[in-house]
Structure 1
């Protein structure tokens, strides 16, 4: 069970900024922000690449959270999906503890479904063998096969708050995830994650949930067929709000933060969502919403969803407020 984040057979393409009417974006900060790279200058030569990387990074957290955004799951997403997949297991790990004492620390090792092992060291702050705020678990993967990839490295989970029983409506929780050289390897890709993420979830029903991700600093470095690639998110926030609508659900999403990527010389861009992206029912992609991407000297790229199939991408290279270049693209061309 991947938390009722089947929540989101209705989400949006994004990982988003403190959006959503529930004000459910996480506020916990798991560490200091990384230095921000020099801003990229947005030009006619790179604006489509910048737009594509913005859409891809925004979908990164959302697809990892099982949000049906229309984007394809990629090998590098597996790191966050693995982290999230462990959350429902916290209850079992703590209830299996043999020690009932304040601050009790216990280590157990279990086999991974696809092979390899996972060693779990949990700390029960009040010794009640239940998951409470302040409890934590450190996971060490040893060739642990997850979704066909072999994982090695460490992931620490700390519970910030919890109400109800996760997976049983209604419930809510906030968990910090700290990735330390957590590496996933498939036949073609090796990706390594470092940094922190805070996940906040409030769930009242399958089609009535709010999910937020935030990070002060999270980076993924990958190698694909001997080609290297890296992406870093700094002070990046995501919110997805799903509400009943028609015969299914409507999801609303926003994003804000700083992205740096080797796709544009490891320089940075700032992303905001002045108009929330909205995806309804069985739509593969949002039919409305807008990103504004800002680079050096006020240069900007605007991405606007004009329908559930089409996007308009515009460039204001000199930052004077007038978009002098415009291109129409299909959603599935950009993701």
Structure 2
């Protein structure tokens, strides 16, 4: 199984996103007072769910949960990751062009539709170098059972190793989404913004992945109702490491989330203790996230087992969690 290139939509080494793997340094900067959400007994469980879901659609079900159905929201991230993985090969196989020249062609998408591809091998050497780029326009392009339209651009930062034929390899690039949409029979998802994606893979069970996001917005329309999330200065990372006959999955995330679920207000998120799930478990058995809102209001989400999670609320910001509820993981994710 080529985990990094086929199962999830995220990428590399923890230092690449300036935080990551198991305990960030301090609390992320809080949103401005005017845009901060107030966390209350009425909404704190929903706030916790939003914070966790914002990370799970980026890292797909492999980071916090295994065996779940692929979400509509993650389709566009997975498409971006798949195009990043194809970019070095596209550059290498392009016909020789004058330095700075681009070439345009159309690809058929499996299942129907097309991709219009504009390649730019900056120095014309047919090698994947920093700054080489590909701009793609999806035209009713079928991907993972959904129909894509809109634009995506991929700019390489680095590429080395056997990323097409086997391990080890490293791959890094910037993905820019311009109203890229995915339409299923029930749901429409649209993405705008950019992120840096990195992959460092040594084997199926020895990989480090991370995303660094300056600003990324995703909206989802289902049954005529639209919801949205915007991530700002958001880092997320996933490390897969051997453990006995299986593997451990360690996931961390940190940044600012604004969501329509909380009246388009924002909260800051951190993981002082990384979430850890073994390959024999469906959900993490350990880990903790904290979510900070207006006036010091705060939620703490703690994995107490591979089946249960505890959500605590400090509504008045006095440092004491006065409200607690325990939920099954499958009620939250």
Please, what is the CA RMSD of the aligned residues?
2.3
TM-score (norm 2): 0.89
Distance 2:258 2:321 in 1: 23
* Aligned match of 1:146: 143
* Aligned match of 1:106: 103
* Aligned match of 2:55: 58
Cα distance, 1:17 vs. partner?
7.3
Distance 2:197 2:118 in 1: 21
Kindly provide the CA deviation profile for residues 105-154 of structure 1, in whole angstroms up to 9, marking residues without a partner as x: 11111110011100110100121222221110000001111112111110
Correspondence 1:20-99 to 2 at 5 A: 20=21, 38-63=35-60, 67=63, 69-70=65-66, 71-99=68-96
Alignment of 1:204 onto 2:202: yes
* Aligned match of 1:176: 174
Correspondence 1:207-222 to 2 at 5 A: 207-222=205-220
| CA distance 1:35–1:192, shift in 2 (3 Å) | farther
Correspondence 1:1-335 to 2 at 5 A: 4-5=4-5, 18-20=19-21, 38-63=35-60, 67=63, 69-70=65-66, 71-167=68-164, 168-335=166-333
Kindly provide the CA deviation profile for residues 74-98 of structure 1, in whole angstroms up to 9, marking residues without a partner as x: 1121111111122232233223322
Q: Secondary structure at the match of 2:38?
A: coil
Once superposed, which parts of structure 1, at least 4 consecutive aligned residues long, lie more than 4 Å away?
5-8, 34-37
8 A Cα contact 1:300 1:317, kept in partner = yes
| CA distance 1:220–1:2, shift in 2 (3 Å) | farther
Kindly provide the CA deviation profile for residues 211-235 of structure 1, in whole angstroms up to 9, marking residues without a partner as x: 0001110001121111111110000
Kindly provide the CA deviation profile for residues 152-189 of structure 1, in whole angstroms up to 9, marking residues without a partner as x: 11000000112223143221121100000101111211
How many matched pairs?
317
Q: Secondary structure at the match of 1:169?
A: coil
8 A Cα contact 1:7 1:207, kept in partner = no
| CA distance 1:157–1:188, shift in 2 (3 Å) | same
